[in-house]
Amino acid sequence: MRNLTGRPTRITCLGQWSIESGGRHEVVRPSRRAQLFALLLINADRIVPTRELIAEVWPEDASGDLVNDLYAHVTRLRADLQRWGGGSGLRLATCRPGYRLELGAAELDLNRFRDLAAQAAQLREHAPHASLSTARRALAIWPGTPFPGVELGPAASIAKVRLEEEHLNLMIGTFDLALDLGQDAMLIPDLEELTYRYPYCERFYDQLMVAHYRAGRPDGVMRTYHRLVQVLADDLGLTPSPALQRRYVAILRHEDSMEVGHRSVATVPA
């Protein structure tokens, strides 16, 4: 199927795993072929050795002679890519000692996310408002978990955890910057939601306390801190880190370091 719409082939793996080309939209379904596709997509435009692909698709039997089985899945995946690619150059190439997924002109949302995150990092010091806008554009690309609905193989599962760490770090950095720019009260609803989504991530509690304080809501500061104390004690048998305890004391003392113009978060661990 050739793409006659003039629109690029788009591959999404963040929030929904699908391919859009030529006016058609197809969701990637669970299968061994999907496991193969995931690892190749994570390593797009790089060679993945045959032995690694076999270990990914058949982790329980990777020592067996499964080259022919792999080739059967490769053949079917190539047929899928030809159907999806729409003349974009999306293809699976044989390159010793394995295979390389070549994106060609196809667009991958993960690459776009990383490009924007890198741009935001470059802009942060000399153009913080542009950096914040760019970081938010990157976060908007990521509506949910990577490769949803598919049980990934071992290597892709590890890569997925690292991708989620990239996303988490960008979220934390974006809220840090927004606080540094004086956007306090408007951040509270999102930060409240994030403390429930990531109940053990102290950075979001820290940012939420700072936002409440600068918005003139001392009751919100105390409520946030004591909720974290209870969550850590009940679920993990822990107490907040010394850095977060110092932050709480600094807020209670109305120290100058809590005002806009000072770095909002410096030492509180994630």
Q: How far is CA 46 from CA 81, 92, 93, in A?
A: 17, 11, 10
At residue 266, does pLDDT exceed 50?
A: no
Asked whether residue 22 is assigned to any structural domain, the reply reads yes
At residue 190, does pLDDT exceed 70?
A: yes
- According to DSSP, residue 13 is labeled -
> Residue 69 belongs to a domain with what CATH number?
1.10.10.10
Segment 93-132, tens digit of pLDDT: 999 999 999 999 899 999 999 999 999 999 999 999 999 9
Which of 72, 92, 108 terminates a domain? The answer is 108
Q: What confidence score (pLDDT) does residue 1 get?
A: 41
Please, which pLDDT band fits residue 84 given cuts at 50, 70 and 90?
confident
Which of 85, 108, 131 terminates a domain? The answer is 108
What's the domain range around 252?
184-270
Mean pLDDT computed over 4-8:
62
Asked whether residue 147 is assigned to any structural domain, the reply reads no
188 lies in the same domain as 104: no
Q: Count Cβ neighbours within 10 Å for each residue of 169-194 and write b for 16 or more, e otherwise.
A: ebbbbbbbbbbbeeebeebbebbbeb
Name the pTM for this structure: 0.89
Segment 204-249, tens digit of pLDDT: 999 999 999 999 999 999 999 999 999 999 999 999 999 999 999 9
